[in-house]
């Protein structure tokens, strides 16, 4: 009897460990997919904002995201009423909407009006550091030497990409101001990531939906203010394609997958994957916008990949 009980316990432990490993692999696959899509959003957004003001573009993007999420959200509530019965920390959701949607896109766009894309990419490379520091302070996540080394390598790789970006036009009328706003954007996203980790006990679809709905409402007055003299501009068919892609895939789906990945991966590790953005962005721009890349930038991309590999190792 005792032997049977031991075998049952061992079997349960094995199944639990297997499920944990499978969930971790799913989390890694999800966050890599998210980074590929978000990396492509640099090119898609660049094409879109050439015809649509940046804040209006952000607002329309999240209108589409909310419209795609709404029917899924309603069906989910009907199918899983018990999940929607869990009390939602509305203050946390409010701050997540402000930081992850409204503030992030406002600061990001203002930054790129004042600084160059290469300097913006350089500043973005410090995002995992922001997340790791906040995660260590507020989530008590342990960072081993290997993880710290991975983060530093990734930052070094992004710095190489940012400093050595070969842009045809790289105007930076107010670089200090622009870099300051980019830092604010990175801090905003780091706060969003930490808060997302704190609400992983709530279904990811529920959190993603409410963040998107609320963030869209916060973007509305900003977009109205931006176009207060001219009104909202007409959108071309190509512009709608860009908005649909960014709204449905890069926002609705990827925000959900990003929050989902935080259920199985440490926030600092998820944050380090964001360093893939400039690497993928450069590759896609090279293919579709005829931009150039040099050997040192390729080396920087290699450092990012090595850094991410090291960051995925368990802290010891």
The residue that leads in pLDDT, 240 or 174, is: 240
Kindly state the average pLDDT of the residues 265-276: 72
pLDDT at 17 over 50: no
208 CB contacts (<8 Å, ≥6 apart)?
A: 69, 252, 255, 256, 259
The residue that leads in pLDDT, 253 or 296, is: 253
pLDDT band at 1 (very low <50, low <70, confident <90, very high): low
Taking a C-beta distance cutoff of 8 angstroms, is the pair 57, 69 a contact?
no
101 CB contacts (<8 Å, ≥6 apart)?
A: 62, 211, 212, 214, 215, 216, 218, 219
Buried b (16+ CB within 10 A) or exposed e, 102-139: bbbbbbbbbbbebbbbbbbbbbbbbbbbbbbebbeeeb
Q: Identify the pLDDT of residue 223.
A: 93
pLDDT at 291 over 80: no
Kindly state the average pLDDT of the residues 62-71: 92
What is the chain's alpha carbon radius of gyration, rounded to the nearest angstrom? 21
Taking a C-beta distance cutoff of 8 angstroms, is the pair 189, 100 a contact?
yes
| Tokens encoding 285 | 């721009």
Percent of the chain with pLDDT over 90: 17
pLDDT at 220 over 60: yes
* Separation between Cα atoms, residue 96 and residue 193, nearest integer Å: 8
Q: What is the pLDDT of residues 98-126, one digit of tens each?
A: 999 999 988 877 777 777 666 676 667 66
pLDDT at 15 over 50: no
pLDDT band at 312 (very low <50, low <70, confident <90, very high): low
Q: In angstroms, how far is the first alpha carbon of the chain from the final one?
A: 38
Kindly state the average pLDDT of the residues 51-73: 89
pLDDT band at 93 (very low <50, low <70, confident <90, very high): very high
Q: What is the pLDDT of residues 145-192, one digit of tens each?
A: 887 887 788 778 777 766 665 544 444 567 677 778 888 888 898 899
Give the pTM: 0.74
Pick from 18-22, 176-180, 228-232 the range whose average pLDDT is largest: 228-232
pLDDT at 83 over 70: yes
**pLDDT, averaged across the chain:** 78
The residue that leads in pLDDT, 27 or 87, is: 87
Q: Identify the pLDDT of residue 313.
A: 64
The residue that leads in pLDDT, 316 or 161, is: 161
Percent of the chain with pLDDT over 70: 77
pLDDT at 16 over 50: no
Q: CB count, 10 Å around CB of 309?
A: 13
Q: Identify the pLDDT of residue 188.
A: 93
pLDDT at 23 over 90: no
The residue that leads in pLDDT, 30 or 191, is: 191
Pick from 61-65, 194-198, 269-273 the range whose average pLDDT is largest: 61-65
pLDDT at 214 over 60: yes
CA dihedral 266, 267, 269, 275 (to 10 degrees): 160
| Tokens encoding 113 | 């009006």
Q: CB count, 10 Å around CB of 71?
A: 9
């Amino acid at each position: 009897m005792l032997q049977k009980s031991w075998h049952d316990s061992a079997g349960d432990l094995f199944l639990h460990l297997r499920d944990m490993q499978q969930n971790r692999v799913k989390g890694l696959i999800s966050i890599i997919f998210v980074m590929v899509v978000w990396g492509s959003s640099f090119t898609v957004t660049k094409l879109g904002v050439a015809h649509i003001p940046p804040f209006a573009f952000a607002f329309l993007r999240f209108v589409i995201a909310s419209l795609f999420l709404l029917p899924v959200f309603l069906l989910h509530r009907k199918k899983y009423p018990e999940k929607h019965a869990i009390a939602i920390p509305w203050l946390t959701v409010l701050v997540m909407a402000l930081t992850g949607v409204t503030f992030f896109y406002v600061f990001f766009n203002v930054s790129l009006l004042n600084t160059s894309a290469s300097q913006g990419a350089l500043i973005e490379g410090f995002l995992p550091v922001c997340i790791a520091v906040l995660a260590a302070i507020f989530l008590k996540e342990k960072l081993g030497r290997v993880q710290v080394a991975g983060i530093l390598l990734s930052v070094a790789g992004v710095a190489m990409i940012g400093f050595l970006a070969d842009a045809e036009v790289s105007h930076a009328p107010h670089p200090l101001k622009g870099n300051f706003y980019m830092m604010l954007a990175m801090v905003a996203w780091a706060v969003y990531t930490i808060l997302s980790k704190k609400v992983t006990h709530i279904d990811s679809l529920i959190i993603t939906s409410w963040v998107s709905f609320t963030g869209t409402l916060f973007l509305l007055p900003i977009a109205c203010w931006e176009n207060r003299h001219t009104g909202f501009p007409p959108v071309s068919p190509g512009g709608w394609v860009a908005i649909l892609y960014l709204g449905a895939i890069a926002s609705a789906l990827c925000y959900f997958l990003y929050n989902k990945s935080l259920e199985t991966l440490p926030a600092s590790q998820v944050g380090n994957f964001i360093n893939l953005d400039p690497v993928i962005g450069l590759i896609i721009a090279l293919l579709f916008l005829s931009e150039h890349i040099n050997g040192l930038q390729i080396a920087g991309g290699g450092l990012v990949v090595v850094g991410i590999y090291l960051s995925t190792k368990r802290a010891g």
